[in-house]
Structure formats: C-alpha cells, structure tokens
C-alpha cells in the first residue's frame, strides 16, 4: 500500500474507523479531565487533609465545595465547547477547516 492510497476500502469501514477513533478520543479526554480535577483538588482542598489544626472542624465544610466547583465548571466548558462546534458542523453539514 502506498502513501497515496486510502487505508480503508469501503464507506462502512471508514465509518467504523471514525467511530473507533472518536471513542478513543472520548476515553482519553475523560481521563485527562479526571486527572486534571484530581490534581487541582489535591493542590487546593487536599492541603486541608495534610495540615490538621483548629480551623479544620469549622472551615472544612465551606472549603471542600468552594474548591470543587471551579474545576467542574472549567472542565465543563472545555468539554462543551468542542461538542457545540461538532454539533453545529453536523447541523449545518459543513466542516470548519
């Protein structure tokens, strides 16, 4: 097979390869976002687990939710923006190339 020939032989095979590639991207993106959230939480909220003092009993109730919310919002935006572009390209049947 030369470099100028296609790797797939039929449209059905191309669709299957494309869907497999999409699933690989989603799988990878899920773990990247999950890892980013974990690192963010360990660097901010996790610090409260390492150092115990008199403030923990009073402030842990407010620190955990406040630290968790910004990461969820930012990861939601990171995931939602490409999804919106993908949906609009399907709706208008155009590609943004």
Q: Per-residue pLDDT for 5 more than 70?
A: yes
Helix spans in 1-97 (H): 11-44, 47-50, 56-92
Calculate the average pLDDT of the chain: 74
Backbone angles phi, psi at 84, to 5 degrees: -65, -40
- Provide the pLDDT for residue 95: 52
Compute the average pLDDT of residues 3-11: 79
pLDDT tens digits along 46-74: 665 555 665 666 667 777 777 777 766 66
Q: Please tell me the pTM assigned to this model.
A: 0.54
């Amino acid at each position: 097979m030369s470099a100028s020939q296609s790797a797939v032989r039929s449209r059905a095979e191309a669709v299957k390869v494309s869907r497999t590639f999409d699933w690989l991207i989603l799988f990878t993106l899920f773990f990247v976002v999950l890892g980013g959230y974990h690192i963010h939480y360990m660097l901010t909220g996790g610090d409260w687990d390492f150092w115990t003092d008199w403030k923990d009993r009073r402030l842990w109730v407010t620190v955990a939710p406040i630290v968790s919310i910004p990461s969820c919002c930012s990861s939601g935006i990171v995931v939602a923006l490409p999804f919106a572009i993908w949906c609009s390209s399907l709706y208008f049947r155009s590609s943004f190339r």
